[in-house]
Amino acid sequence: MAKSKNSRRGFLRGAATAAGVAGLTGAPIALAQQAALKPETTGSAPEVTSNQRPGSDFMVDVIKTLGFEYVAANPGSSFRGVQESIITYGGNKSPEWLTCCHEESSAAMAHGYFKIEGKPMMIMAHGTVGLQHASMAIYNAWCDRVPVYIVLGNILDINYRRGNAEWVHSVQDAAAMVRDYIKWDDTPVTLQHFAESAVRAYKIAMTPPFEPVAIVADGTLQEEPIAEKNLRIPKLVMSAPPQGEIAAVKQAAKMLVDAENPVIVAGRVARTPKGVDLLVELAETLQAPVMDQRLRMNFPTRHPLAGRPSLTNADVILSLETQDLWSSLNSQTGLNKFGMEFHRTANGKLIDISAVELNYRSNYQDFGHYLEPALSITGDVEATLPSLIEEVKKLLTADRKRALAERGAKVMEANRKARERDRELATLGWDASPISTARLSAELWAQVKNEDWSLVSTDNFQSAWPGRLWDFTKHYQYIGGQGGAGIGYGAPAAVGAALANRKYGRLTVNIQCDGDLNYAPGVMWTAAHHRIPMLSVMHNNRAYHQERMYLQMMGNKFDRGLGHSDIGTALNDPFIDYASIAKGYGWYAEGPINDPKDLGPALARAIARVKAGQPALLDTVTQPR
């Protein structure tokens, strides 16, 4: 086998020299690190192929044309060629290599990064064990309609596998494991094939609905000298996003203008800052209340039309790429009942605008219930809103505008009262220990409101107190949650988002759930190592709280009592010292903080460290929700 491999290398080397492809990018030959290896430590002397370039250099040429800022990876032998080319040949710039301690962290960092930056991050992983680690985070990205550009290492040719590790790290079809929840993948067998598929993958990932894609970088292609002639990199030409068909948009506009009590439900509306402006314009034109599912920063939280309107009373409901709207349209049997019963409680006409059905798959069930809309428009919401707004404006007469203004005034007054009520409710448990999530949110808001801040965690676990108390206006101030409800997303997604925020000088704030942090805390080291400033305030309720409640339901359902619901769910014996963990990873940290009066000063100290460029964590012991 060794003889065969050497023979092929010699043949390819000769072919490459003859083809003269090394001049494609004009980069210097850089294989000095191979010569520097000591034979006694590696078992055999590495081959020095001077005056030639590996295929991975060309792969990097391709990758550079796609404009990635970063590539996140835990190192792996199956993509060592590309790694070496990125950091040496590519100068470790565009993309810059991010050292990760877990592939799930790599993928979730890319997830969080995209939702701030609006462009994908590349990640690399073994086609086997690395992708297995990354798969949950990729699924989250899929459910959250976020592109992650995945490059997988694999050694397809058995003659190039050395020893057990490379056999157990090899696979026939690397992307098969995640094919149900990525949009496209390919396994190129030549460098030219790699170039074409890499560019195509980027285009597919970045055409709404956004989703992850995967390209396999074959180990042999990476590591052998370039042998192909006339290699070229295709030009990336992006597609315009799919837009709702105009006749259907006109029909939707008429239904909305004629409606007496329309409600707009926003799921993933704003892909860009423009999306927020468009939704505001539509709501103000219609004087209609907006229920924001907070999967993105869609609508300013203190806008007078922002609220929690009743869908039961709505005669027209406009669903804009929502998630599980069905649960808001129907009532359903509680878990304590046997069997499943539901009935429709919201009977208004439903208009559904979404591009997601363009990308439905069969196996994973993230599409949810079939909604039975009165009008369904397949198209990207942000791309469709301009024509919808225009059609609505065309239909508005002076009389209708007056009627809508009267309706809007009532909606605004109801929302004003609801916000007042929220502030009153926030006082309940104000001085309690553990600290209430309302108090935590209020203390945090007081410290960040005069900064250029960005909250990079979902507020679902804090009874939505940030959304109820803070003034969210800009698109980067909120990025929603996991998508697939896969825990372990929070910490790495926050680091990825903080990385994107860094160059804009924003103060990144992460409310960090304790259960989530314990999945892959090594991402804290990545943040410290790459000097990514961010503030993490623990929502440390010392339990996998949601599951604890489910155990209570199960125990009560069969009259077995609740005394054991802490088994398997509580994280309290011993208490986990998150401040010490964070310090160990190179963060500034304080805690545990039990007294709410201590929180404000601690936040001020931590923010000062973040502004100086350091990640900081406060271990705040909190109420469950």
Partner 1 sequence: MKTILILLTFFVFVFFSVPASAQLKPGNAENGKRLFMFNACYQCHGTVGQGGAAGARLAQTKLTLPGFIAFVRNPPPSNMPPYRAKIMSDQELADVYALIQTFPAPLNPANIPLLKE
Residues that bind partner 1 (CB under 8 A): 331-337, 343, 420, 423-430, 432, 434, 436-438, 442-443, 445-446, 460, 463-464, 469, 543, 545, 548-549, 552-553, 555-557, 559, 561-563, 565-566, 623-625
Q: What is the dihedral of CA 114, 120, 126, 129, to 10 degrees?
A: 30
Pick the closer one to partner 1 by CB: 277 or 431.
431
Q: How far is the CB of 431 from partner 1 (least distance, A)?
A: 9
Least distance in Å: CB of 393 to partner 1?
Answer: 32
Closest contact distance (angstroms) between CB of 458 and partner 1 is 12
Whats the size of the chain, residue-wise? 625
* Residue with Cβ nearer partner 1 (243 or 541): 541
Nearer to partner 1 among residue 402 and residue 564 (C-beta)? 564
Residue 283: closest CA among 136, 157, 150, 408: 408
Beta carbon of residue 621, minimum distance to partner 1 (angstroms, whole number):
12
Of 285 and 540, which CB lies nearer to partner 1 in the complex structure?
540
Please provide residue 510's backbone torsions phi and psi, each rounded to the nearest 5 degrees.
-130, 120
Tell the smallest beta-carbon distance from residue 448 to partner 1 (Å). Answer: 12
Question: Is residue 94 within a helix (H) or strand (E), and if so which, with residue range?
Answer: none
Residue 10's CB is within 10 A of a number of other CB atoms, namely: 10
- Closest to partner 1 by CB, 26 vs 339, is 339
- Residue 36's contacts (CB-CB under 8 Å, 6 or more residues apart) are none
Residue with the two structure tokens 């545990």: 592
- Closest distance of CB 567 from partner 1, Å: 12
Token digits of residue 251: 């029909």
Distance CA 150, CA 331 (A): 40
Calpha distance 205→113 (Å, rounded): 15
Q: Which is nearer to partner 1, 434 or 488 (CB)?
A: 434
Phi, psi at 28, each rounded to 5°: -70, 160
Residue 147, preceding peptide bond in cis (omega within 30° of 0)? no
Enumerate long-range contacts of 410-413, CB under 8 Å, 24 or more apart.
411/287, 411/288, 411/289, 411/304, 411/305, 411/307, 411/309, 412/304, 412/305
**Least distance from C-beta 371 to partner 1, angstroms?**
21
Nearer to partner 1, 170 or 569 (CB): 569
Least Cβ distance, residue 605 to partner 1 (angstroms): 18
Alpha-carbon Rg for the chain, nearest whole angstrom, is 27
Choice between 189 and 570, CB closer to partner 1: 570
Are 395 and 292 in contact by the 8 Å Cβ rule? The answer is no
Rounded to whole angstroms, how far apart are CA atoms 224 and 207?
Answer: 34
Strands 213-218, 184-186: pairing kind: parallel
Q: How far is the CB of 538 from partner 1 (least distance, A)?
A: 17
Q: Which residue bears the tokens 């359902």?
A: 557
Give least dist CB 597 to partner 1, A.
12
Buried b (16+ CB within 10 A) or exposed e, 505-524: ebbbbbbbbbbbbbbbbbbb
Residue 68 in tokens: 């990635």
- Residue closer to partner 1 by CB (options 369, 423) is 423
Please report, as a single letter, which amino acid is at residue 443. E
Least Å distance between CB 469 and partner 1?
8
| Smaller CB separation from partner 1, 562 or 608 | 562
Closer residue to partner 1 in complex, CB, 326/367: 326
